[in-house]
Amino acid sequence: MTAAPGATPTIVLIGHGMVGQRFLEALAERGLTATHRVVVLCEEPRPAYDRVQLTSYFSGKTPEDLSMTDMAFIERHGIELHVGDPALTIDRASRTVTARSGLAVDYDVLVLATGSYPFVPPVPGKDSAGCFVYRTIEDLLAIEEYARSRATTGAVVGGGLLGLEAAGALKGLGLATHIVEFAPRLMPVQVDAGGGAALLRTIEEMGLTVHTGTGTQEIVADDSGAVTGMKLSDGSEVATDMVVFSAGVRPRDQLARDCGLSVGERGGITVDEQCRTVADPHVFAIGECAQAADGRVYGLVAPGYEQAETVAATIAAEESSFTGADLSTKLKLLGVDVASFGDAHGAAADCLDVVYSDSRSGLYKKLVIGRDGTLLGGILVGDADAYGTLRAFTGTVPPVSPESLVLPAGAEGGAQLGPSALPDEAVICSCHNVTKGTIRGAVTEHSCTTVPEVKKCTKAGTGCGSCVKVLGQLVTAELEASGVEVDKGLCGCFAQTREELYEIVLALRINSYQALLDRYGREGARGGDGCEVCKPAVASIIASLASTIGASGYVLEGEQASIQDSNDHFLANLQKNGSYSVVPRIPGGEITPEKLIVIGEIARDFGLYTKITGGQRIDMFGARVEQLPLIWTRLVDAGFESGHAYGKALRTVKSCVGQTWCRYGVQDSVRMAIDLELRYRGLRSPHKLKSAVSGCARECAEAQSKDFGVIATANGWNLYVGGNGGATPRHADLLAQDLTDAELIRLIDRFLMFYIRTADRLERTSVWLDRIPGGLDHIRDVVVHDSLGICEELDALMAAHVDNYRDEWATTINDPEKLARFVSFVNAPDTPDPVVGFVPERDQIKPDLPLLSIGMRPEALEGSAQR
Amino acid sequence: MTLAPESTTTALKVQLRVADGWLEVCDLAVLLPGRGVAALLPDGRQAALFRDRDGALYAIDNRDPFGGAAVLSRGLTGTHQGRPFVASPLLKQRFDLETGQCLDDEAVRVTTYEVRTAAS
Ligand code: SRM
Ligand SMILES: Cc1cc2nc3c(=O)[nH]c(=O)nc-3n(C[C@H](O)[C@H](O)[C@H](O)COP(=O)(O)OP(=O)(O)OC[C@H]3O[C@@H](n4cnc5c(N)ncnc54)[C@H](O)[C@@H]3O)c2cc1C
Ligand code: SF4
Ligand code: FES
Tell me the pLDDT of chain A averaged across its residues.
Answer: 90
Tens of pLDDT, residue by residue over A44-70, are: 999 999 998 898 888 778 899 899 999
pLDDT at site B27: 93
pLDDT at position B50 over 60: yes
Q: Supply the residue whose CA is at minimum distance from atom 1 of ligand 4.
A: A429
How far is it, in rounded angstroms, from Cα A250 to Cα A381?
27
In this prediction, residue A866 has a pLDDT band, given cuts at 50, 70 and 90, of very low
Ligand that lies nearest to the alpha carbon of residue A710, given by its number in the listed order: 3
Tell which one of A663, A669, A693 to mutate to probe ligand 3, the residue whose CB is within 8 A of the most ligand atoms.
Answer: A669
The alpha carbon of residue A847 is apart from the nearest alpha carbon of chain B, in Å, by: 11
Q: How far is B25 from chain A (nearest CA, A)?
A: 5
Q: Which ligand has an atom closest to residue A576 CA?
A: 1
Among B72, B76, B79, B91, the strongest candidate for a mutation testing the A interface, having the largest count of A CBs within 10 A, is B76
Quick one: average pLDDT of A84-88? 96
Rounded to the nearest angstrom, the distance between the alpha carbon of B119 and the centre of ligand 1 is 47
Contact assignment for A852 to B74 by CB distance below 8 Å = no
Residue A417 banded pLDDT, cuts 50, 70, 90: low
Tell whether the model's pLDDT for residue A308 goes beyond 70: yes
Q: What is the mean pLDDT of residues A598-618?
A: 97
Q: A825 — contact with chain B (CB < 8 Å)?
A: yes
Residue of chain B whose Cα is closest to the Cα of A525: B79
Residues on chain B touching A826 (C-beta within 8 angstroms): 25-26, 30, 37-39, 49
Q: Residue type for B90, please?
A: L
Does residue A413 surpass a pLDDT of 70? no
In the structure, which protein residues have their CB atom closer than 6 angstroms to any atom of ligand 4? A 429-431, 460-467
Mean pLDDT value across residues B55-73: 95
Residue A81's nearest CA partner among A126, A54, A45 is: A45
| Chain B contact present for A567, CB below 8 A | yes
pTM: 0.57
Q: Please choose, from the candidates A215, A240, A231, the residue with its C-alpha nearest in 3D space to the C-alpha of residue A158.
A: A215
Which ligand has its closest atom nearest to the C-alpha of A50? 2
Distance (Å) from the alpha carbon of A479 to chain B's nearest alpha carbon: 24
Eight-class DSSP state of A719: E
Dump pLDDT digits (tens) for A709-744: 999 999 999 999 999 998 788 999 999 999 999 999
Residue A206 has pLDDT above 50, yes or no: yes
Nearest CA to ligand 4 atom 2: A464
Size of interface A-B (CB pairs under 8 A): 111
Ligand nearest to the CA of A620: 1
Cα A263 to ligand 2 centroid, rounded to whole Å:
19
The shortest CB-CB distance from B26 to any of A529, A532, A827 is to: A827
B112, pLDDT greater than 50: yes
The pLDDT tens digits of the residues spanning A336-389 come to: 788 888 888 887 778 888 888 877 777 888 888 888 888 888 888 888 878 878
Q: pLDDT > 90: what percent of chain A?
A: 67
pLDDT at residue A430 in the model: 80
* Chain A residue nearest residue B76, CA to CA: A532
Q: Which positions 23-42 of A are in contact with B (Cβ < 8 Å)?
A: none
Question: Cα(A66)–Cα(A85) distance, rounded to whole angstroms?
Answer: 21
Q: What is the pLDDT of residue A447?
A: 81
Burial class of residue A349 in the structure, from the number of CB atoms within 10 Å of its CB (0-12 exposed, 13-18 middle, 19+ buried): exposed
The residue whose C-alpha atom lies closest to atom 15 belonging to ligand 1 is: A614
Secondary structure class of A799 (helix, strand, coil): helix
- Give the separation between CA A554 and CA A609, rounded to whole angstroms: 29
A226-240 pLDDT, tens digit per residue, is: 999 999 998 999 999
Q: Are A183 and A213 in contact (CB under 8 A)?
A: yes
Give me the phi and psi of A244, to 5 degrees please: -110, 120
Return the HEC string of A606-631.
HCCEEEECCCCCEEEEEECHHHHHHH
Q: Is the pLDDT of residue A856 over 60?
A: no
Say what percent of chain A tops pLDDT 70. 96
Cα(A586) to centroid(ligand 1), Å: 16
On average, the pLDDT of chain B sits at 89
The mean pLDDT value for A88-104 works out to 96
Could you tell me the pLDDT band of residue A418, with boundaries at 50, 70 and 90? low
**What confidence category does residue B5 fall into, taking pLDDT thresholds of 50, 70 and 90?**
very low
The protein residue whose alpha carbon is closest to atom 5 in ligand 1 is: A613
Atom 26 (ligand 1) nearest CA: A725
The region, left, alpha or beta by phi > 0 then psi within -120 to 50, assigned to residue A650 is beta
Residue A252 has pLDDT above 90, yes or no: yes
Task: Flag if A853 and B37 touch (Cβ within 8 Å).
Answer: no
> What percent of chain B shows pLDDT beyond 70?
91
Q: Is A709 in the pocket of ligand 3 (CB under 6 A)?
A: no
Q: Which residue of A has its CA nearest to B41?
A: A827
Lowest mean pLDDT among A112-121, A423-432, B7-16: B7-16
Q: Is the pLDDT of residue A589 over 70?
A: yes
Q: Give the pLDDT of residue A11.
A: 97
Do residues A291 and A261 touch, judged by C-beta distance below 8 A?
no
